[in-house]
């Protein structure tokens, strides 16, 4: 089992190893090098978060399963992620500095997403994207 460690970027918890995995698994080729440069610089990290969370076109469309409007409750999303094979541990990418970079139980991390966020389900190749236009997607790179 792979262990992950947290590094601190100013006041933001950033795990470059996990972010690199997320970028390589879920981001379109055309944006990968740009995003990798952003996460390498503490001053530009916020650019990564802004671009990544603001536009779902940055995500590989062939990995996306859209969550139907009638299944967008917290419990439904958690159940759907489990159906796709999510384990109990997750990592959060968030605009909220207090929550960004947190690792915890999937349900707890899901509870921290308030309109925009990306959850990387550790030990799997699954992600959950929630965008400001009510976009809710599960991404599977299996």
pLDDT above 90 coverage of the chain, percent = 76
Cα dist from 50 to 29, 33, 58, 131, whole Å: 18, 16, 11, 11
pLDDT band at 88 (very low <50, low <70, confident <90, very high): very high
Q: What is the mean pLDDT of residues 8-37?
A: 86
pLDDT tens for residues 23-36? 999 999 999 999 99
DSSP per-residue letters across 27-96:
B-HHHHHHHHHHHH-TTTHHHHHHHHHH-GGGB-GGGEEEPPGGG-SHHHHHHHHHHTT--SEEEEE-SS
Using the predicted structure, report yes or no on whether residue 4 has a pLDDT greater than 60.
Answer: no
pLDDT tens for residues 45-61? 999 999 999 999 999 99
pLDDT at 114: 81
- What are the residues whose beta carbons fall under 8 Å from the beta carbon of 34, sequence distance 6 or more? 51
**DSSP reduced 3-state for 13:** strand
Phi, psi of 137 (to 5 degrees): -130, 145
């Amino acid at each position: 089992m792979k262990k992950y460690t947290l590094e601190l970027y100013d006041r933001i918890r950033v795990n470059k190893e996990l972010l690199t995995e997320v970028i390589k698994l879920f981001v379109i080729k055309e944006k990968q090098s740009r995003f990798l440069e952003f996460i390498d610089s503490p001053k530009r990290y916020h650019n990564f978060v802004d671009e990544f969370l603001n536009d779902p076109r940055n995500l590989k469309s062939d990995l996306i399963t859209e969550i139907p409007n009638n299944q967008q409750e917290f419990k439904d999303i958690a159940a759907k992620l489990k159906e796709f094979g999510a384990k109990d541990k997750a990592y959060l990418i968030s605009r909220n500095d207090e929550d960004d970079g947190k690792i915890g139980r999937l349900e707890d991390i899901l509870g921290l997403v308030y309109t925009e966020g990306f959850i990387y389900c550790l030990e799997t190749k699954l992600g959950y994207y929630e965008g400001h236009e009510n976009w809710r997607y599960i991404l599977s790179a299996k």
